[in-house]
Amino acid sequence: MELLDRSPDLSVFEISDLLSVNFKTISEHLRRLTHAELVLKRNMAREVEHALSPRGKVILKFLRTLE
């Protein structure tokens, strides 16, 4: 979520490269975050871009206060 807050509109492959995690794992996590309405998907030509939803931003802000 931190990554999407800093760099919105990333594809699964871009997130996978930046975090050095298998793209299938990233895809599953994004699917769950989207289902929880924390991440928004947007179709752009041949890729799907991901960004934090307003709800995701509120949750991230709350989590930062716990640090």
Domain boundaries, the chain: 2-66
**pLDDT-based confidence at 67, cuts 50/70/90?**
confident
The per-residue pLDDT for 44 is 82
Contacts of the segment 50-55: beta carbons below 8 A, 24+ positions apart: 50/4, 50/8, 50/9, 50/10, 50/11, 50/12, 50/15, 51/4, 51/8, 51/9, 51/10, 52/1, 52/4, 52/5, 52/8
**What CATH class has 2-66?**
mainly alpha
pLDDT at 47 over 90: no
pLDDT digits (tens, 9 = 90+) for 7-46: 989 999 999 999 999 999 999 999 999 999 999 999 988 8
Read off the pTM.
Answer: 0.86
What's the confidence (pLDDT) of residue 13? 94
